Amino acid sequence: MSVVGFDFGNENCLVAVARQRGIDVVLNDESNRETPAIVCFGDKQRFIGTAGAASTMMNPKNSISQIKRLIGRQFSDPELQRDIKSLPFSVTEGPDGYPLIHANYLGEMRAFTPTQVMGMMLSNLKGIAEKNLNAAVVDCCIGIPVYFTDIQRRAVLDAATIAGLHPLHLIHETTATALAYGIYKTDLPENEPLNVAFIDIGHASMQVCIAGFKKGQLKILSHGFDRSLGGRDFDEVLFHHFASKFKEEYKIDVSQNAKASLRLRAACEKLKKVLSANPVAPLNIECLMDEKDVRGVIKREEFEEISIPILERVKRPLEKALSDAGLTVEDVHMVEVVGSGSRVPAMIKILTEFFGKEPRRTMNASECVSRGCALQCAILSPTFKVREFQVHESFPFSISLAWKGLASDAQNGGAENQQSTIVFPKGNPIPSVKALTFYRSGTFSVDVQYSDVNELQAPPKISTYSIGPFQSSKGERAKLKVKVRLNLHGIVSVESATLLEEEEVEVPVSKDQSEETAKMETASAETAPASGDSDVNMQDAKGTSDAAGTDNGAPESADKPVQMETDSKAEAPKKKVKKTNVPLSEVVYGALKSVEVEKAVEKEFEMALQDRVMEETKDRKNAVESYVYDMRNKLSDKYEEYITDADREAFLVKLQEVEDWLYEDGEDETKGVYVAKLEELKKVGDPVEVRYKESLERGSVIDQLSYCI
Ligand code: ATP
Ligand code: K
Ligand code: MG
């Protein structure tokens, strides 16, 4: 199996692979470690990654970037609305309320989902890994921002499927960084943990996590984030600064011109980087708009001043992470910054001020996420031996289950009796399984939802499950055990429902069963009615087969805050319990259906084929061209004696004709035509080449002979 980690950045993507001697970040076709997250749609093919970035200026409206911002978000999301204002390509609302990206591809307008575009990008990254490993890549780990919602996580998985990848683990980027930091440390404490704050400032967002390290393990204590605070916000500030300056000075309005906007934004990003190392930086763009050359200059001080609104927001996620961890700044022993956005000196100033100590850059700021992902993949891989190191991950949001209460409770007033309980509180370990017990007489439904809408910008409801039909043997309310799983990727689903029926036959109390009772102890949530109508109990369902691996740091704590009611029946003489699986049907809001994913896989296959055909066509065309040049040179050089003058003249004329054809009628032909054209030339050229080679061989035979004598 392949051991690969992908850092899918908003701006830059990195691919790391595990080899016997360790983890390597690998180079793409252009020999870069970072691959821009850009897909450019062309008349004949797509250009992805570095090639996509190169095509952006020529073809801005069809160059899709910021994919990570768009994926899994509703069109009405205010952040998305803000983002698309500065994007050069068109984004509209799809029939499902999610965005559609429009681009001119193969000569006509096409619509793509952000998931599809991410799939294209991932497929390119997969190709980079495969070239380097010289093997097929399927299994992998992909980094995701900790703030990604359920639907965003699902979308990343779908994008991976489209790319032919199978992520073993979507891992929080900050956790990947913490892993890459901790696993090599040989001096971690045995008892009191070493608390490290990791701050990742990327292109579009900022993430914080506080991790406690002990020998052989790390535990994520808390998270903080700002979804919209990153390097690009500084670009934006500079962009507006210069745009309004140029409006005054040069009477040009770049906002009216997609290409000019793009060029000014790119120049501002460069300027920002120059300001990280210099106190002043110039900005010169030739022919920006209306044939006007523009010039400007800015001092770092002024840049920091106009950036105050951004800089002011840096502290909030830090404070949140600290308070969620129950720590003070003094308890944080080390501060590590990563992400290239952190190179802005003002950022470091704020971090230093906040923590009272200088942040360190122990890790490679741009590579650590991909390295951590590859490490995680190696840990999960049976074929790699990795130093024993446990990662206790924690989930950043609270997740509830909601259902309608029993009809008898609704009698008073007749209103629907909506109930809910927190199944996975914020900070819950990942993965985790909980079981709830319901008493019902017929099919019922439950909603999985976020407990606190303020924490995220997403609709609260994640999914709805219909549970049933089932039949209770005695016509009473049946007892059902409903298992809810928070999986390794941080995706929540109702995994199973089981009908529990006590059978008449009494059986002696065995050791096994008393253990089972102990496991069942926790119980119904506060919100559940206390009467005999009580319809839900909750428990941890630890130790189920695939929650393994995290058992250690896992759910010792989670449910304590809610005082659970003990199920009285559990105390009665032990009876045999018959378990029957109850059917489940699932609706996940905004998720692609599996047929849609399948369709997208097919489409991706077609587009990839088209790209390949075009690459091969270019390749065959180049072959004709270089044959023409090469043969022409050789005909007046080493082949001169092996062809008659008349034949040479005729051949040179033919070569000239083909060269002219390449620039005219033959400019845009199919692969087969170029292949045929090369054959045609070789028919004339090959005999000459053969005669030349034969004479060389004769020559070498003679040489050898003379040597023997
Ligand atoms: P995200 O983590 O948000 O998904 P990403 O991982 O692609 O995005 P990074 O590659 O960590 O982001 O950082 C990219 C940002 O860093 C860009 O905004 C870029 O302009 C900025 N950046 C890179 N070098 C410098 C520098 N020397 N000074 C200031 N900013 C820089
Ligand atoms: K990155
Ligand atoms: Mg990043």
| Residue nearest ligand 1's atom 6 by CA | 9
For residue 703, report the distance from its CA to the centre of ligand 3, in Å.
64
H-helix or E-strand spanning residue 1: none
Q: Are residues 172 and 250 in the same domain?
A: no
Cβ of 431 below 6 Å from ligand 1: no
Q: Are residues 150 and 249 in the same domain?
A: no
Cβ of 116 below 6 Å from ligand 1: no
Q: Are residues 306 and 317 in the same domain?
A: no
The last residue of one of the domains, among 548, 563, 591, is 591
Bridge-partner residues for 575, per DSSP? 506
Q: Are residues 13 and 132 in the same domain?
A: yes
Ligand nearest 233 Cα, by number? Answer: 1
Cβ of 370 below 6 Å from ligand 1: no
The last residue of one of the domains, among 251, 286, 311, is 311
Cβ of 172 below 6 Å from ligand 1: no
Q: Are residues 92 and 196 in the same domain?
A: yes
Would you state the pLDDT for residue 329? 97
Cβ of 339 below 6 Å from ligand 1: yes
ipTM: 0.98
CB-based contact 601:554 (threshold 8 Å): no
Q: What is the 3-state secondary structure (H, E, C) of 328-393?
A: CHHHCCEEEEECHHHHCHHHHHHHHHHHCCCCECCCCCCCHHHHHHHHHHHHHCCCCCCCCCEEEE
Which residue range(s) make up the domain with 249? 231-311
Cβ of 231 below 6 Å from ligand 1: yes
For residue 230, report the distance from its CA to the centre of ligand 1, in Å.
8
For residue 226, report the distance from its CA to the centre of ligand 2, in Å.
17
Q: Are residues 120 and 18 in the same domain?
A: yes
> CATH number of the domain that 269 lies in?
3.90.640.10
Mutate to test the pocket of ligand 1, among 201, 340, 342 (most ligand atoms within 8 A of CB): 340
- The number of the ligand 1 atom at minimal distance from the alpha carbon of 37 is 7
For residue 201, report the distance from its CA to the centre of ligand 2, in Å.
10
CB-based contact 528:439 (threshold 8 Å): no
The last residue of one of the domains, among 393, 418, 453, is 393
Blockwise average pLDDT, block size 10, the chain, 709 residues:
94 94 94 97 96 92 96 95 93 96 98 98 98 96 97 98 98 98 95 97 97 97 96 96 96 92 94 97 94 95 96 97 97 97 96 97 95 96 89 96 74 67 96 96 95 80 95 81 98 97 64 36 34 59 40 32 34 75 96 94 97 95 95 92 92 95 93 95 95 85 56
What residues have CB less than 8 Å from 146, skipping those under 6 apart? 172, 173, 174, 175, 207, 209, 223, 225, 396
> CATH number of the domain that 508 lies in?
2.60.34.10
How buried is residue 88: exposed, middle or buried, by Cβ count under 10 Å (0-12/13-18/19+)? middle
Ligand nearest 71 Cα, by number? Answer: 1
